A and B are shown apart, each in its own frame.
Chain A
Amino acid sequence: MATVLQKTTHSAPKLEAMTHLPRLGLRGRTAAEYLSNAGFIPPNAPNRLTRAPSGELLLRLSNSEYVLLGAKEDEGMRVSALEAEAPKAGENSLYFLPRRDSHAWFCLSGERRVEVMSKLCGVDLSPKAFAHDAIAQTSVASASAIVAGDGQGEAFHLLVDSALAEYFQEALVDAMAEFGTR
């Protein structure tokens, strides 16, 4: 293994399964307006996110596509409530997407999270290159994934096809092993 001489105080990375928390996809011309009306602040550019004071993360994946991740603090109740309001198909050019079922959700934290991810992903996720409110829609461990900051510079949120959850978790745990896992 490489000998890293640069002195830092490292703690073991931590992987949290967040799949149990509600999350919702929204797409369409009026999606931003809908989210604003619901009290969220849509990011002003694609591949950026905003963090609500109540802890929800709003990810903007394209001009008109968003993912809303529920907050741990309220067990995602606020997002659940929105989820129940699914509009009729085509209504107001707004479409809900079943991200809760289509995507597994992990949270990777710890100071060495960047090194863990460097074993799985070809995007430079170091703080200088990847802002805490940035998003990368990329390949992680050869699986299509969304890598998002947490808005605070402490963790990465990872969304991946729910059918790949076991594979993906195994790849992450394997990558974390050398740093010690929690």
Chain B
Amino acid sequence: MSDDIPAVSRLPKPWGQRIDRTRPVRFSFEGKHYTGFTGDTLASALMANGRHLMSRSFKYHRARGPMTLAGHDVNTMVQLPEEANVLADLTPIAEGLSVMGQNYSGSLDHDRDAILGHFSRFMPVGFYYRAFFKPAGMWKYWEPFIRKKAGLGQLDVSFKPTYHDKAYLFADVAVIGSGPAGLSSALAAAEAGARVLLIEQEPELGGSLNWARFDIEGKKASETRALIERAKHHPNIRALTHAVCNAWFADNYLPVISGNRLYKVRAKTCVMAAGAFEQPVIFRNNDLPGIMLASAAQRLMRLYGVKPGKRAVILTGHNGGYLAALDMLEAGMEIAAVADMRSDDCKQAAPFRKALEAKNVRIYSGTTVFEAISGKNRDGNPHVSGVELRRILLETNSSGAARRGEVETSGNFIECDTLLMSSGYMPVWQLPCQAGGKLAYDESSARFSIDGLPDILTLAGSVNGYFSLDNVLQDGEQSGRRAAAKASGKPAGAELPATPKFEAEAPVNYPWPIFPHPKGKEFVDLDEDLQIRDIINTVRLGYRDIQLIKRFTTLGMGPLQGRQSALPAARLVAEATSRSISETGITTARPPFMPEKLALIAGRGFSPVRNSALWRHHEKAGAQWLMAGTWRRPAYYGDPAQREAHIQEEARAVRERVGLIDVSTLGGLEIRGPDAVEFLERMYTFGFAKLPVGRSRYALMTAEDGVIMDDGVCCRLGEQHFYVTATTSGVDRVWRAMTKWNAQWRLDVDIANVTSAWAAVNLAGPKSREVLARAGVNIELSGSSFPYLGVQTGIVAGIPARLMRVGFVGELGYEIHVPSRYGEALWDALMKAGAEFGIRPFGVEAQRLLRLEKGHVIVSQDTDGMTHPAEVGMEWAIGRKKPFFVGKRSISILEAQPLQRKLVGFTLPKNAPQKPLEGQLILDEAGNITGAITSVGHSVALGQTIGLAWCAPSQSKAGTTLPIRCENAPGGRLLATVVALPFYDPKNLRQEV
């Protein structure tokens, strides 16, 4: 493309170990086309093309460029087509990817809102808590403006969800971080026989071994990298790269995110070798593009083969800055100066200073950058163009008072296009603190350490306070062995080596790397644009607790959660409140460690759906499905546009001819054994002792509180064998209750839930007997041989079956149960046999209507969690002479109380203006609510609307007018009439033939 930006030449190999120079990748940023290499991140590819400005800051819209190159700063947040707030230093480039900046007005390079920086004095921290509310009523004018300005990226509302899932992982030892400490730890644990899971955030194992320099000669890292190959090939180590452990939960339950998958890791022991965050120096304009951590420059060169600039100044508080300078020199960069905040006589610095001086690098000891100067880079964007160095005044004045952060009144200006800084390190404290670890600050080393961890979690390496490579390796090995021993259950120390001899280490943290400037803009928290004075002023306003300061200032509340701001903020607050840093502490680090998507938490959902053995037949017949618990059931058959007509026609077929419904979803329980009768006597309200073999009886179950729990039909197949049905959604509950009770009763009975083992149909209608006979059955079907409520076992259409004469829909009918593998064959046989009689399959909706005509209650539809038998007129189903059944005593107590409500049947006049809906309220004459409709439908047989409803007992007498609140009806009410149940065939002449 003509507007392609030519790539700046890269460093030669072996620089750029992560990129594949043979595979170029083209992408665009802010509409301009760039080329990078496979392995590049967006940030590295842009920097390779000389582009540093990638984002605008949250509040003042200041130009920002990458600072950590490790996903630890907010400066690289960019917008992808389908995702906002993506970190460019973690996101790989992809062919054709279109990337934009975000949080700007106009363009990223020419952000009109950058003017806000000039008004920062009018926007002190917390100003929005006190502004915008006065004078009264002003908020409504401010709100639209603030809402427009708030937020960062843009959501793509047309985004289609992508596939995310979860998986479990198990390990004896989980090692978080695969730097030198993690590698030595993992290898030691693996050698001890433990199953090790090695979790690494970067694309490859090795951590700092891949980019850091550990010695002046630059040999140690490459020598130590042999550990990487050993770990890769060790049979006891499973390595996950590109994987972030995002929290620590009790008992080492670790959520590890890798791509679109959330691993739920269960580890017996855990070694945290996550390293330490390099810390910035706080001075004026420390956020300019071109200013970055020393480690960021090393990453950029070693991993991506990109030089951060041409001429660099290095500001450091420890020897690491010198090592970074040596890397820069090797890469061909000019080092304009090294400013070492430590004093001239710092012994630990001597060999490093000597090494650099031998390469003609000018070193300024006891010196800091007081201000970074903003210029323009080659694309015209703000960029560091130089620094003003000033000597740091002594730590105390002549009277001994602290003079922290004070500098001389004048200094040197040094031109540069790159400033690397490093004031020391902060252990990666988040996960250890989630595990109960406590941070303690040691004033002499100016470092936080962590202790108080559970014994299933061990720290290793720099998170544990070791920075010399030899010490880190020893600490890792020790931790790995300890973790493996703990995981194996062996006594502590059983397999530990002799206590390692750690070498003395030079301090790595400069104690006060904070240098206020009269004009401000020394940023402590880049996420939230917080300057030194924002922290100090907050304390002056009376906030002393770090947690309150956090909430008032939003310190550490940005996307990167204070990785670089926690330590300087703790120092500032301690100083301002005259407390120690340990007393001040830092804010709580709650999960997640990195921003995580809700899609990962949701993962791939599992929602089990049950199908009866006949579902394919229903599908072919045009079933429209409804969910009954976890079961899919045909609601009706046919075009949804004619839903009501289909339901009415299905009901008419049952009343006039014959219908077939799949009732396989009804619960089925086998109760067998010498105590089967006694067991049923106790579980159900009715008596079953006298139920003859070959007969069935209605079975009502109540809970201990007398509330109706379920119902069904109990069939006696043998002296010690009963087959009991239960409701579709209630059978699991019934089975649990049965097994729970018998755990106490210890009756000699076997209770088996066989619901899915049986396919069942209800063949119902005046022609059902003829259809059954036509299908072929080895049972005498006459009313005298096989009467209503009779139960038979036999053969239907060549299939072994259990047959029951039931009357749920109020017609002559047979429930036929066969082993589920024969369900389809049975259905086919009955449909074929019924063809000449006009058989029609009917669904749940028609069945509900037909049973409503018979006044049958559906437990859980017409009852609720408070219903007892007397309220629904089921006193007849109580075996009062039985000594015991579950709920008996409660029922007697409830029945002794005045009824509070009653379920009644009602009809509406045939010319009623509309049909009410289930759930609509029943009122009394004064308009008070007395109940609600539980079932309603248009009866084909009666030609009018019928229903069941709760009402006051005083309204339950047949003939009473029942007002139904219905806002669309004239006067807001429909007037129904209470009638005796059932609505249809009250003498049961049709079902008992």
Binding site for B on A (CB under 8 A): 1-7, 27-28, 88-90, 93, 95, 97-98, 100-103, 115, 118-122, 124, 126, 128-129, 141-143, 161-168, 171, 174
Task: State whether A93 and B748 are in contact (beta carbons under 8 Å apart), knowing that A2-B240, A5-B241 are contacts in the complex.
Answer: yes
Give me 21 A-to-B residue pairs in the complex whose CB atoms sit less than 8 angstroms apart, sorted by A's number.
A1-B258, A1-B259, A1-B261, A2-B242, A2-B243, A5-B232, A6-B235, A6-B237, A7-B233, A88-B718, A89-B718, A90-B674, A95-B750, A101-B819, A101-B821, A103-B756, A118-B167, A124-B168, A161-B756, A163-B611, A166-B611
CB of A97 within 8 A of CB of B752, answer yes
Q: How far is the CA of A171 from the CA of B166 in the complex (A)?
A: 13
Cβ-defined partner of B752 (8 Å) among A90, A95, A119: A95
B-chain residues with CB within 8 Å of residue A174 when the two chains form the complex: 604
Interfacial residues of chain B within 717-765, with CB under 8 A of chain A in the complex? 717-718, 720-721, 748, 750, 752, 754-758
Q: How far is the CA of A2 from the CA of B232 in the complex (A)?
A: 14
B-chain residues with CB within 8 Å of residue A102 when the two chains form the complex: 754-757, 820
B-chain residues with CB within 8 Å of residue A129 when the two chains form the complex: 170
CB of B233 within 8 A of CB of A89, answer no
- CB of B430, distance to nearest CB on chain A (Å): 22
Cβ-defined partner of A119 (8 Å) among B167, B608, B631, B670: B167
Cβ-defined partner of A90 (8 Å) among B169, B242, B604, B673: B673
Q: How far is the CA of A89 from the CA of B754 in the complex (A)?
A: 15
CB of A89 within 8 A of CB of B720, answer yes
Q: How far is the CA of A126 from the CA of B757 in the complex (A)?
A: 32
Interfacial residues of chain B within 608-645, with CB under 8 A of chain A in the complex? 608-613, 615, 631
B-chain residues with CB within 8 Å of residue A122 when the two chains form the complex: 168, 264
Known pairs A89-B721, A162-B820 / 14 extra A-B pairs, C-beta < 8 Å? A1-B258, A1-B259, A89-B672, A89-B676, A89-B718, A90-B672, A93-B673, A98-B757, A98-B758, A102-B754, A102-B756, A103-B756, A119-B165, A161-B756
Cβ-defined partner of A141 (8 Å) among B259, B608, B631: B608
Q: How far is the CA of A75 from the CA of B205 in the complex (A)?
A: 50
Q: How far is the CA of A122 from the CA of B166 in the complex (A)?
A: 11
Task: Kindly report which residue of chain A lies nearest to residue B720, judged by CB atoms.
Answer: A90
Q: How far is the CA of A181 from the CA of B166 in the complex (A)?
A: 19
Task: Kindly report which residue of chain B lies nearest to residue A20, judged by CB atoms.
Answer: B821
Q: CB of B203 within 8 A of chain A? A: yes
Task: State whether A163 and B195 are in contact (beta carbons under 8 Å apart), knowing that A2-B263, A90-B721, A98-B819 are contacts in the complex.
Answer: no
Residue-wise, chain B 593-619 has the 8 Å CB interface mask toward A (1 for contact) of 000000000001011111111010000
Task: State whether A6 and B232 are in contact (beta carbons under 8 Å apart), knowing that A102-B757, A174-B604 are contacts in the complex.
Answer: yes
Q: How far is the CA of A90 from the CA of B751 in the complex (A)?
A: 11
Q: How many residues of B contact A (CB 8 A)?
A: 57
B-chain residues with CB within 8 Å of residue A119 when the two chains form the complex: 165-168, 604
CB of B170 within 8 A of CB of A28, answer no
Q: How far is the CA of A93 from the CA of B615 in the complex (A)?
A: 36
B-chain residues with CB within 8 Å of residue A5 when the two chains form the complex: 205, 232, 239, 241
Task: State whether A101 and B756 are in contact (beta carbons under 8 Å apart), knowing that A3-B240, A3-B242 are contacts in the complex.
Answer: yes
CB of B608 within 8 A of CB of A101, answer no
Cβ-defined partner of A164 (8 Å) among B261, B608, B754: B608
A-chain residues with CB within 8 Å of residue B243 when the two chains form the complex: 2
CB of A142 within 8 A of CB of B167, answer no
CB of B756 within 8 A of CB of A2, answer no
Residue-wise, chain B 551-571 has the 8 Å CB interface mask toward A (1 for contact) of 000000000000000000000
CB of A162 within 8 A of CB of B756, answer yes
Residue-wise, chain B 258-285 has the 8 Å CB interface mask toward A (1 for contact) of 1111011010000000000000000000
Q: How far is the CA of A47 from the CA of B169 in the complex (A)?
A: 22
The 9 closest A-B pairs by CB, nearest first: A89-B721, A142-B606, A102-B757, A90-B720, A163-B610, A124-B170, A101-B757, A89-B672, A98-B757
- CB of B967, distance to nearest CB on chain A (Å): 41
Q: How far is the CA of A27 from the CA of B752 in the complex (A)?
A: 10
CB of A4 within 8 A of CB of B239, answer yes
CB of A167 within 8 A of CB of B609, answer yes
CB of A167 within 8 A of CB of B610, answer yes
Q: CB of B238 within 8 A of chain A? A: yes
CB of A6 within 8 A of CB of B238, answer yes
- CB of A46, distance to nearest CB on chain B (Å): 17
B-chain residues with CB within 8 Å of residue A118 when the two chains form the complex: 167-169
Binding site for A on B (CB under 8 A): 165-170, 195, 203, 205, 232-233, 235, 237-243, 258-261, 263-264, 266, 604, 606-613, 615, 631, 670, 672-674, 676, 717-718, 720-721, 748, 750, 752, 754-758, 819-821
A-chain residues with CB within 8 Å of residue B238 when the two chains form the complex: 4, 6
- CB of B601, distance to nearest CB on chain A (Å): 16
A-chain residues with CB within 8 Å of residue B607 when the two chains form the complex: 142
B-chain residues with CB within 8 Å of residue A28 when the two chains form the complex: 750
B-chain residues with CB within 8 Å of residue A4 when the two chains form the complex: 238-240
B-chain residues with CB within 8 Å of residue A90 when the two chains form the complex: 672-674, 676, 720-721
A-chain residues with CB within 8 Å of residue B755 when the two chains form the complex: 102, 163
A-chain residues with CB within 8 Å of residue B615 when the two chains form the complex: 166
CB of A100 within 8 A of CB of B821, answer yes
B-chain residues with CB within 8 Å of residue A167 when the two chains form the complex: 608-611
B-chain residues with CB within 8 Å of residue A98 when the two chains form the complex: 754, 757-758, 819
Q: How far is the CA of A95 from the CA of B167 in the complex (A)?
A: 38
- CB of A22, distance to nearest CB on chain B (Å): 11
Q: How far is the CA of A122 from the CA of B233 in the complex (A)?
A: 27
Task: Kindly report which residue of chain A lies nearest to residue B205, judged by CB atoms.
Answer: A5
Q: How far is the CA of A102 from the CA of B610 in the complex (A)?
A: 12
B-chain residues with CB within 8 Å of residue A3 when the two chains form the complex: 203, 240-242
Q: How far is the CA of A100 from the CA of B242 in the complex (A)?
A: 45
- CB of A20, distance to nearest CB on chain B (Å): 9
B-chain residues with CB within 8 Å of residue A168 when the two chains form the complex: 608
- CB of A129, distance to nearest CB on chain B (Å): 6
* Residue of B238, B607, B631 with highest tally of chain A CB at under 10 A: B238
Q: How far is the CA of A128 from the CA of B260 in the complex (A)?
A: 28
B-chain residues with CB within 8 Å of residue A115 when the two chains form the complex: 167
Q: How far is the CA of A120 from the CA of B754 in the complex (A)?
A: 25
- CB of B628, distance to nearest CB on chain A (Å): 12
B-chain residues with CB within 8 Å of residue A143 when the two chains form the complex: 606, 608
- CB of A67, distance to nearest CB on chain B (Å): 13
B-chain residues with CB within 8 Å of residue A121 when the two chains form the complex: 168
- CB of A80, distance to nearest CB on chain B (Å): 13
Task: Kindly report which residue of chain B lies nearest to residue A168, judged by CB atoms.
Answer: B608
A-chain residues with CB within 8 Å of residue B264 when the two chains form the complex: 122
Task: Kindly report which residue of chain B lies nearest to residue A122, judged by CB atoms.
Answer: B168
Task: State whether A100 and B606 are in contact (beta carbons under 8 Å apart), knowing that A3-B240, A3-B241 are contacts in the complex.
Answer: no
A-chain residues with CB within 8 Å of residue B266 when the two chains form the complex: 124
Task: Kindly report which residue of chain B lies nearest to residue A64, judged by CB atoms.
Answer: B750
CB of B240 within 8 A of CB of A142, answer no
- CB of A104, distance to nearest CB on chain B (Å): 9
CB of B232 within 8 A of CB of A128, answer no
Task: Kindly report which residue of chain B lies nearest to residue A143, judged by CB atoms.
Answer: B608
Cβ-defined partner of B673 (8 Å) among A89, A126, A128, A164: A89
- CB of B463, distance to nearest CB on chain A (Å): 23
Q: How far is the CA of A124 from the CA of B168 in the complex (A)?
A: 8
B-chain residues with CB within 8 Å of residue A164 when the two chains form the complex: 608-611
Task: Kindly report which residue of chain B lies nearest to residue A2, judged by CB atoms.
Answer: B258
A-chain residues with CB within 8 Å of residue B205 when the two chains form the complex: 5
- CB of B60, distance to nearest CB on chain A (Å): 40
A-chain residues with CB within 8 Å of residue B606 when the two chains form the complex: 120, 141-143, 171
Task: State whether A101 and B259 are in contact (beta carbons under 8 Å apart), knowing that A3-B240, A90-B720 are contacts in the complex.
Answer: no
CB of B672 within 8 A of CB of A95, answer yes
- CB of B39, distance to nearest CB on chain A (Å): 13
CB of B756 within 8 A of CB of A163, answer yes
A-chain residues with CB within 8 Å of residue B232 when the two chains form the complex: 5-7
- CB of B973, distance to nearest CB on chain A (Å): 44
Q: How far is the CA of A7 from the CA of B750 in the complex (A)?
A: 51
Task: State whether A100 and B756 are in contact (beta carbons under 8 Å apart), knowing that A2-B240, A6-B238 are contacts in the complex.
Answer: no
Q: How far is the CA of A111 from the CA of B717 in the complex (A)?
A: 48
Cβ-defined partner of A100 (8 Å) among B241, B720, B819: B819
Q: How far is the CA of A128 from the CA of B195 in the complex (A)?
A: 9
